[in-house]
Amino acid sequence: MFPGWLAYNREAGLTVERPGARLIPGGEAMTNVLILGASGSIARASTELFLEKTHARLTLYLRRARRVKTHDAARVRVVEGDVLDTAKLKEAMAGQDVVYANLADDLEQMAGSVVKAMDTAGVRRLIWISSMGIYDEVPGQRYRSVLDPYRDSARVIEASNLDYTILRPAWFTNADEIDYETTQKGQPFKGGIVSRKSVAALVVKLATSPGLEVRRSLGVSKPE
């Protein structure tokens, strides 16, 4: 009756799961998560959910530290740096369990820097935000050069030895909801929109669920 739907009981402070829902796990072992591009909209939403729903400790990596608000210093560290500075990126990866990348601009080169730094630092788990359409999987639509940076960076990630999950979200909305479904690479993409909060919830679920959807590329959209 409520496919893919998750509701929060705010008064009781509980998470209520409807049939078929995807629950954000809580009470998991402490996880150290490095968030690259931490000022992005999905990254900010993910940060809030990590802090609210998990025990994870976060390292926020971004070019300008002033772009993120102050958080509890016991759980959040801010590092100012460029993803293309592979040496500094490697330093930030020390002690991390998961790398979550929410990046823009020169994505192929950034992907190469992330893979190299992770290999050197010995970190294996990567969650990489891409875009729908990179495999021409959206029925009736063909996205050409505008998606080339996403295609090229995805190829770099898929050619690596990392335990990656690539997320290919639909067009973003600001709806205050967690309501999504996923499709695998090779399957037609479903739907056309998804809330930022939904993508953030999936990021948190993947980061705190070892082995989930490893070496997979997932389309993410709101069920129609």
How does pLDDT run across 125-159, given as a tens digit for each residue? Answer: 999 999 999 999 998 777 667 899 999 999 999 99
What's the rounded mean pLDDT across residues 32-52? 96
CB 52 within 8 Å of CB 14: no
How does pLDDT run across 59-93, given as a tens digit for each residue? Answer: 999 999 888 877 888 999 999 999 999 999 999 99
Residues of the chain with pLDDT > 90: what percent? 78
Task: Provide the pLDDT for residue 10.
Answer: 28
- What the chain holds in terms of domains, given with CATH numbers, is 29-221 (3.40.50.720)
45 vs 142, higher pLDDT = 45
pLDDT(30) > 90: no
- As a whole number of angstroms, the distance between CA 65 and CA 177 comes to 28
Count the neighbouring beta carbons within 10 Å of the beta carbon of residue 89.
Answer: 25
How does pLDDT run across 103-124, given as a tens digit for each residue? Answer: 999 999 999 999 999 999 999 9
- As a whole number of angstroms, the distance between CA 212 and CA 102 comes to 19
What's the rounded mean pLDDT across residues 162-178? 98
